[in-house]
Structure 1
């Protein structure tokens, strides 16, 4: 399992519109090859800052299968207009779980 974690800065005042657009994008992830879940979280201290976490079976499911798909283009068309800057993306693997 690989976790894609994207730090997204949204233009101030556009948070509600961004969240609505992100909700519309859920089916794009649901049908993506190797995607087993996703979550959006929002910073309490910085309400224009979000984190998107997506669970992928493999790194390539994100970097190749999804990123080269029409669904990725649709995702960016939905949420891209709200970005204050390009998202910062990392891919993480679980080392261990404490509980």
Structure 2
């Protein structure tokens, strides 16, 4: 499993609209082969900062499958205008975890 992570800085005064549009856009990312799940976390300390976490079966499911899809074009149309600056997206593999 691969974890995609991106800090999203939403333009001021657009948080409520962004959150509603994110819920709508979620249907597009979740339709991709290799998609396992995602969450959006809102930062407590920084008002307009969010953390997007997406679980993928393999890196290529995101970088090729999603990014080259019609679903990505819809995702992009709905969400990309909210970001300032545009987010850096990184991918991680689990080395260790301990959950209770």
TM-score range, shorter chain: over 0.9
Gaps of 5+ in 1: none
TM-score, length basis structure 1: 0.96
The aligned counterpart of 2:50 is 50
The residue that corresponds to 1:80 in the other structure is 80
TM-score, normalised to structure 2's length? 0.95
1:16 paired residue number: 16
Provide the aligned length of Structure 1 versus Structure 2: 99
Provide the residue aligned with 2:33 in structure 1. 33
Residue 8 of structure 1 deviates from its aligned partner by 0.7
Tell me the C-alpha RMSD between the 2 structures.
Answer: 0.8
CA distance in 2, matches of 1:32, 1:85: 26
Deviation at 1:49, TM superposition (A): 0.5
Distance 2:77 2:60 in 1: 22
Structure 1 residue 66: deviation in Å? 0.3
